[in-house]
Amino acid sequence: MKKSIYSILRGKFLISDDSFKNWRIIIFISFLAIIMIASSHSADKKVHEIARLNNEVKEMRSAFVDGRSKLMRLKMESTIINRVGEKGIRISEIPPTKIKVFGSEE
């Protein structure tokens, strides 16, 4: 037991006659470790991109709601009356009437 641990620490398994099998396994495990690290970095990059896009969506949504509320305020009758009143136009005191034309068949 002590001899096998000592031989592992000295690296005899890498230079012995049947070391080709050991090198293949070491290279394969190294390759898998590199792939795992690369996929982890890729996943982290995607998480950061998703977070950035979510923040952008929230900003756009708030800008949309703000624009919609400004439009609603501009479309209110009182706002229109005030803006038109500044130009000298007043609201009519007499309500409009509907004109019906009888006898025309076009």
Taking the C-alpha atoms of residue 71 and residue 92, their distance in angstroms, rounded to an integer, is 24
Say whether pLDDT at 106 is over 60. no
Higher-confidence residue of 95 and 63: namely: 63
For the chain, the average pLDDT equals 88
Q: What pLDDT sits at residue 104?
A: 62
Q: Torsion-angle region of residue 88: left (phi > 0), alpha (psi -120 to 50) or beta?
A: left
Name the token pair of 14.
């890498």
Name the token pair of 37.
């690290």
Say whether pLDDT at 21 is over 80. no
Say whether pLDDT at 2 is over 90. no
For residue 49, which of 41, 59, 60 has the smallest C-alpha distance? 41
CA angle 23, 30, 4 (to 5 degrees): 50
Say whether pLDDT at 64 is over 80. yes
Taking the C-alpha atoms of residue 77 and residue 84, their distance in angstroms, rounded to an integer, is 10
* Contact assessment for residue 81 and residue 91, using Cβ atoms and an 8 Å cutoff: yes
Taking the C-alpha atoms of residue 91 and residue 95, their distance in angstroms, rounded to an integer, is 10
Say whether pLDDT at 96 is over 70. yes
48 CA to centre of own chain: 9
3-13 pLDDT tens trace? 777 777 777 77
Q: What pLDDT sits at residue 49?
A: 97
